[in-house]
Amino acid sequence: MSLQGPVVVVAKEPAPELMAALSAAGASPIIEASDGELGTAIDAAEPAAVVLADPQSPADPQVIAVLSQVIAGAKAYVPVIACIAHEAVPPLPVAIPVFLAAATDRLVARLRAALRVRTLHISVLQRIEGLRSQGVDVPPLPLNDPIEDATVIVAGRGGSYPALTVAIGERVGLIGALSLETARGFIRARDVDGIVIGDGFNRRVVADFLAEIATDPQLRDMPVAVVDDVGGEIDPERLPNLERVAANPALIADQVLPIVRLHAFSARLRRMALTLDAKGMIDPNTGLRTDDAFRDDLIRAVDEAERRGVGLSLARFSLENLADRRISIDAARIVARLVRAADFACRDADGTILVAFAATDLRTVHVVARRIASVLKHTTLAPGRDRNALDPTVTIAAWRSRDTAETLIARVARENMVAAS
């Protein structure tokens, strides 16, 4: 897609190469502004994106103040791309970094990826407004910092791996992997917002891993950080958020997490789009049914079971520390990937997960529930530095002729739960 405009480029000196690259990519208009002119340029242009062409270290307070106001006041996401030195950090937590040494095609590709998120955000906001004008009760778009819900895979075998997992795990959800094959499995099983590949891997193995990700359109915008000089070259348009980073774990976290935040925000918007497709019956945090929609569906399933005599069972899944929001949300998103088309589920008020199995015999329900419990056990980690796996507990209740939806829910109360095998 062509770059949306206007694009404001902030530079102390003219940047003809960057301007030419943006123009060739279709950006129009492009407005150059010095630090002192930024406020005026933004007021006049209402930009779709801002590019900080000079390394801001330390960041100019005037520029930061203006950009903070723009970000806070904008209805839709406005990407800020910041050119930084290899050992520097972005001037704003939301600024998408691009190393100065990178070619302009990488900056353009990264900006294009960020503008895709802006387009999605605008579409979601318009759809929310349209549905609400029709009287549809639409859950609000979550407003918390997307980084709070982000999950990052850290893969490594070298001496820096423990420090890298701590640096990343202190700020976002962490999945540790001692092999890239394990990392592949987690990408398939989990909602992942970034991958950090540390030292200890063969160059060819890393190159093959990156090439595999680059061929998957669903992973195109995935943030991937790789230690310097590992892996082969990848077309920036195929993997625009690939970055080669220094070995300092804290610096890697500072440089990668702004892109992780953007990916988590994009994932939130996609879940919200599913909510809108379902006329508000899907929880945008989890991808499962909302509580009200789940209970309405369960009432209908009970009526169907009574009228036709078909099977109906309800299972409740729980993990330790469900009071930890991240664990509860992670578990719900995993279940959303696993439930069959005929089944429906929700995250209950206490953080446990309810799954209803309609028109299914009890033996099949036990098989499916064990499979879900097994995936939860092997892909959900406890918070803290130990990152221990959590054993899920589950209880199952089959519908009886005198059951209502509420009595069926009561029969899978947490006090009846047992550890899953």
Mean model confidence pLDDT for the chain:
88
DSSP letter at 141 equals: P
Instruction: For residues 33-48, give the mean pLDDT.
Output: 88
Cα atoms in the Cβ-side hemisphere of radius 13 Å centred on 417:
21
Among 21-30, 42-51, 111-120, top mean pLDDT goes to 111-120
DSSP letter at 3 equals: P
Rounded percentage of the chain residues whose pLDDT exceeds 70: 92
CATH 3.20.20.60 fits 7-136, yes or no: no
The CATH number of the domain covering residues in 146-261: 3.40.50.2300
Cα atoms in the Cβ-side hemisphere of radius 13 Å centred on 196:
36
Lowest mean pLDDT among 263-272, 313-322, 336-345: 313-322
- What gap in Å lies between CA 333 and CA 115, rounded to an integer? 26
User: Where in the chain are all domains bearing CATH 3.30.70.270?
Assistant: 286-419
Task: Answer whether residue 303 shows pLDDT above 80.
Answer: yes
State residue 390's pLDDT score: 65
Higher pLDDT, 93 or 417: 93
State residue 420's pLDDT score: 47
DSSP 248-288: -HHHHHHHHHHHHHHHHHHHHHHHHHHHHHTTT-B-TTTSS
Report the amino acid identity of residue 22: L
Mention every residue, 6+ apart, whose C-beta is less than 8 A from residue 250.
167
- What gap in Å lies between CA 148 and CA 144, rounded to an integer? 7
Task: Answer whether residue 304 shows pLDDT above 70.
Answer: yes
Write the pLDDT tens digit of every residue in 148-167: 989 999 999 888 889 999 99
Among 90-99, 164-173, 259-268, top mean pLDDT goes to 259-268
Task: Answer whether residue 13 shows pLDDT above 60.
Answer: yes
State residue 275's pLDDT score: 93
Task: Answer whether residue 414 shows pLDDT above 70.
Answer: no
Instruction: For residues 333-359, give the mean pLDDT.
Output: 92
The fold of 286-419 is: Alpha-Beta Plaits (3.30.70)
Task: Answer whether residue 256 shows pLDDT above 80.
Answer: yes
User: Where in the chain are all domains bearing CATH 3.40.50.2300?
Assistant: 7-136, 146-261
State residue 5's pLDDT score: 77
**What is the C-alpha R_g of the chain?**
24
The pTM (predicted TM-score) of the whole model is: 0.89
Cα atoms in the Cβ-side hemisphere of radius 13 Å centred on 2:
9
Which two structure tokens, joined as six digits, stand for 3? 């770059």
State residue 193's pLDDT score: 96
